[in-house]
Amino acid sequence: MARRVKPWNQRLAPYFLVAPNMLIFGVFIIYPAINGFNISAYDSNNGRTFKAVGAANYQKLFGDGEFWSAAQATLIFVVAFVVLSTAAAIGLALLLTQRIRARGFFRAVFFLPVLLSPVVIGLLWGWILERQSGGLNSLFGISVGWLVNGPLALAVTVFVAIWMHVGFYTLILMAGLQGIDGSYYEAARMDGASAWQRFWHVTMPLLRPTTLVVVILSMITGFQAFDFVYTLTGGGPLGATTFMVQYIYEHAFRSPIQYGLASAGSVVLFCTIFALTLVNFWYGRRRESI
């Protein structure tokens, strides 16, 4: 039987439907990202006149102590955020896929922070953790400087980031858990496997592709952290929570304006995220092929 060929207008219809969104994405995301590579080779203090400086911005960037401080803080934040948010999301996904009372309510509660504005979240937790009249210190009658001690402020930032995003990652992992055939668990029970053995030898291997997605998404989110951090700590104390995006922002929009240096920082951040994403993807595919 001959294959029926769709008319050209039906074949092109999906492309016309996505074209407006792709146009906006290209103009406001793709083009600025590509242009950032170009601007990183120039120096400008007003955004209108540019002077070619070659690799001077990168030399200045890698020789800047503030850059390395921001890079170190970012790395610590990303590692803690990825590990803890992934572990918490797996635990919550396992719990919320069980037949427990008010399961729908708890699913909504954990997902609610995902819907809130990051700026609002930063302001809200800033009020809760304020030293003198904050809600947490007032509730327990203590006077802990949650946001004025460097390591403690960094830990608080990690906690708030997890609180913000764990609901979304839990939702992804719940979808992965519901896609696992129950016959695997029945077979494991018949072989006498304990609950822990079923989790480690059945759930985790079959959930690995979904977990990889969560790891990649959380890693990208961690490297891009800025809005809630800026309203929560402002990058302090003493730069303890100044991450890469804030470093780029401050050099691009605060005096003295250094668009070239900020663009160089953006390029380094992009290359770091891209390289780590490729490594994670390669590792995940390699594990699947074993």
**Taking the model in full, what pTM does it have?**
0.89
Q: What is the pLDDT of residue 192?
A: 86
The answer, yes or no, to whether residue 20 has pLDDT greater than 70, is: yes
Question: What distance in Å separates the CA atoms of residue 262 and residue 61, rounded to the nearest whole number?
Answer: 9
Share of the chain above pLDDT 70, in %: 96
- R_g over Cα of the chain: 24
Q: What is the mean pLDDT of the chain?
A: 89
* The one-letter amino acid at 94: L
Question: What distance in Å separates the CA atoms of residue 138 and residue 274, rounded to the nearest whole number?
Answer: 44
Per residue in 195-247, pLDDT tens?
A: 888 888 888 888 998 999 999 999 999 999 999 999 999 998 888 999 999 99
Per residue in 48-102, pLDDT tens?
A: 778 888 889 999 999 999 999 999 999 999 999 999 999 999 999 999 888 888 8
226: helix, strand or coil:
coil
Q: What is the pLDDT of residue 288?
A: 65
Q: What is the pLDDT of residue 210?
A: 92
- What DSSP letter does each residue of 99-138 carry, written as one string? --TTHHHHHHHHHHHHHS-HHHHHHHHHHHT-TTT-HHHH
Q: Per-residue confidence at 5, pLDDT binned at 50, 70, 90?
A: low
Q: What is the pLDDT of residue 290?
A: 57
